[in-house]
Amino acid sequence: MNIAYPYTIEPQPEGGFLVQFADLEEAFTEGETEEQAAFNAAEVLTAVLAQRIEDGDAIPLPQEAQGRPVAVPDAPVQAALLLHFARQGHTLSELARAMGTSWPAVQRLMKPGNPTLKQLERAAAALGKRLVLSLE
């Protein structure tokens, strides 16, 4: 699964570019150049998704890009979201039992932070998944 959310980028009459995410209505930003707007898009995406995780709010799967540019949240938020989406249908208690760890330890994995690769691998295996890393 790839956690990449598409956005629109529109030049503004007064200069600069406006970025808006279709999947996350509260996620929007701007930049003086397209490059700055794209950088800001990743920053605001990270902040909005981290806040939704913290608040326990619904997090939609990203839409298909359909030729639109995409932004990717930072690695700690990506890790939390990958576990969030992969564990659908499994309680934290079930995941904790499958991993042989405590409920609080699993709860910490579900929030943006600094999980180790070993923790992520164990969680993925407990969910019948395999951890795959890539650099883009």
- Do residues 58 and 11 share a domain? yes
- Do residues 88 and 63 share a domain? no
Tell whether 91 is covered by a domain. yes
Question: For residue 52, what pLDDT is reported?
Answer: 95
2-16 residue pLDDT tens: 889 999 999 999 999
Residue range(s) defining the domain that contains residue 51: 5-71
Residue 87 pLDDT grade (very low, low, confident, very high; cuts 50, 70, 90): confident
Count of domains observed in the chain:
2
CATH number of the domain encompassing residue 9: 3.30.160.250
Whole-angstrom distance, CA of residue 73 vs CA of residue 43: 7
Would the pLDDT of 101 be above 70? Answer: yes
Residue 136 pLDDT grade (very low, low, confident, very high; cuts 50, 70, 90): low
- Do residues 45 and 93 share a domain? no
- Do residues 98 and 59 share a domain? no
- Do residues 65 and 107 share a domain? no
The number of angstroms, rounded, from the C-alpha of 60 to the middle of its chain's C-alpha atoms is 10
pTM, whole model, 2 decimals?
A: 0.82
Q: Tell me which of 28, 44, 71 is where a domain ends.
A: 71
22-70 residue pLDDT tens: 899 999 999 999 999 999 999 999 999 999 999 989 999 999 999 999 9
Tell whether 108 is covered by a domain. yes
